[in-house]
Structure 1
Amino acid sequence: MSMQKGPIEKKVTVRTLRRMKGVEPITMVTAYDALFAGLFDGEVEMILVGDSLVMSFYGAEDTLGATMEQMLYHTRAVCRGARLPLIVFDMPFGSYMSEEQALQNATKVYRETCAQMVKIEGGREKAGIVRRLSENGIAVMSHIGLKPQSVRAEGGYRIQGRTTEEALELMEDARILQEAGATALLLEGMQADVAAKITKAVAIPTIGIGAGNGTDGQVLVWSDMFGFFEAFKPKFVKRYLEGAALIREGLRQYRDEVKSRAFPDEEHSY
């Protein structure tokens, strides 16, 4: 498979991701609405409808308040805007507390949206859920390392894999989840060397966020990478645009022109 030179022209599927592993890095961003999903369409292989939306756009302190109804609403919007990327539905906290509940909610995702994969946080303790979903035709992205939905239980955000014991546990989690049927792995907030070792050890694609450059792909929250979310900036985030500053600049120009009656001018009047 040759390196992607231009925009993506064909629908990305699970098979596409499998072919890309070890050949071409996979690009993934979050999206929460049809407008931005449309802008990202054809530019990245994957879109994650992340529960991070409750922090970025609802002003919450963590992701735990996201509901199935919210996530379904935003995923349907993303599906209307994006035609080509593989869309991943982030299962919110409390939506997969048992195998039966997880299957019921994931089935609802497949029925009501165009999402091709669901993401579930947790290691080997979630293997039963991953197996149950995969056996019922639902593709699962397992999420290990730093787990935002566990932030309250763990007392904050902490980089994973810093000790030999933690590294071995993460490696074992990845192996067990692959055996349970996981289609892909999200590796968040872990030592780069550990993420690279996991990537080499598994046959399924890995997507990293704050996990170094040795994974099969990368994901960032769009409002972080484009400078719209200003509350804080994690170390792993690179800003590719100062979006908030550009918005303020344009808004101030609009305000000044309205105040001075320069807008609307003849060109913008009937």
Structure 2
Amino acid sequence: MKWLKLNADQIRKGQVPRMTIIDFQKRKASGLPISIVTSYDAWSARIIADSDVDCILVGDSAAMITHGYSSTIPADISMMVTHIAAVRRGAPDSLIIGDLPFLSVRMGLTEAVKNIGTLIRAGANAVKLEGADGNFELITHITQSGVPVMGHIGLTPQSINVLGGYKVQGRGEAAAAKLNEDARALEESGCFAIVLEAVPSELAKRISDALIIPVIGIGAGAGADGQVLVLQDLLGLNTQFTPKFVRKFLDGARLIRKALNRYHEEVIKKAFPLEEESYE
């Protein structure tokens, strides 16, 4: 369990390797959970890369967090390329997973492979694909083509119109059985990991125990093999809505407002800039 001894300073000095795709399964076998955080730009990616967080997800949640849309559906390949490239510039050595946006792999195999290749060339090391039904052959083809794929089942935000809202998934015997079946099929298709979103914790634990590959939870309890959170959520910057599964590790919005108000006050008082902050 060498990862227990890792820290950002060691990684910066090159004393230990950054996490790779093959480390996901090793981490599950070791029992040490995996931490993933979203990023959509260079400055936040640089901070994450300087932390102990294992890897970065450039999620299609960028459509909501950065662009102000009410869902992830407006995200497209062009948007994802812009954000992935920015994150890669900010975190040149980090493991970056890029989200495949709405319908980007549903217009035929040729178009799907083209879109996936575009995200990889933009800087992603792997791609994340929402949903199971209809994706198994594609996942096998992609992984055999040299692209690591992370699955995503449970609450899949791109299917929000079908699901009827942001609701917990997997409740009831039939729904739980379907998630179990999908998880096994995604593993067999070649996924290196699976995101399980908004499902009962007991079910998430059962699925994790049944798989060799790690299950990354978001609203799936502590029984998963790792966790992923949106950076703005964990920093307390999202003041509009906080899902039950989000823990705010910082009251970021309050701190930023405080800094802005202090800046405003010192500008009004002409206390900023000082002589040492000015050019002769």
* TM-score, structure 1 as length reference: 0.96
- Decide whether the 8 Å contact of 1:44 with 1:85 is kept in 2: no
* Correspondent of 2:45 among 22, 30, 37: 37
Matches within 5 A, 1:105-124: 105-110=115-120, 112-124=121-133
Matches within 5 A, 1:1-270: 1-8=1-8, 9=11, 10-23=17-30, 24-42=32-50, 43-97=52-106, 98-110=108-120, 112-270=121-279
Matched to 1:7, the amino acid is N
**Counterpart in the other structure of 2:14:** none
**How many Å separate the matches in 1 of 2:83 and 2:7?**
24
Counterpart secondary structure, 1:21: helix
Cα separation, partners in 2 of 1:263 and 1:74, compared to 1, 3 Å: same
Residue 135 of structure 1: CA displacement?
1.6
Identical counterparts, % of pairs? 42
Matched to 2:230, the amino acid is V
- Decide whether the 8 Å contact of 2:215 with 2:224 is kept in 1: yes
For residues 98-122 of structure 1, give each alpha carbon's deviation from its aligned partner in whole angstroms, at most 9, with x where no partner exists: 3332211111222x22311100000
Q: Which runs of 4+ in 1 moved over 6 A?
A: none
- Decide whether the 8 Å contact of 1:12 with 1:84 is kept in 2: no
Gaps of 5+ in 2: 12-16
Residue 235 of structure 1: CA displacement?
0.2
- Decide whether the 8 Å contact of 1:199 with 1:214 is kept in 2: yes
For residues 177-225 of structure 1, give each alpha carbon's deviation from its aligned partner in whole angstroms, at most 9, with x where no partner exists: 1111111101101111111111111111111100000111000000011
- Decide whether the 8 Å contact of 2:24 with 2:192 is kept in 1: no
Counterpart secondary structure, 2:250: coil
Gaps of 5+ in 1: none
Residue 239 of structure 1: CA displacement?
0.2
**How many Å separate the matches in 2 of 1:170 and 1:100?**
28
Residue 3 of structure 1: CA displacement?
4.5
- Decide whether the 8 Å contact of 2:80 with 2:119 is kept in 1: no
- Decide whether the 8 Å contact of 1:45 with 1:84 is kept in 2: no
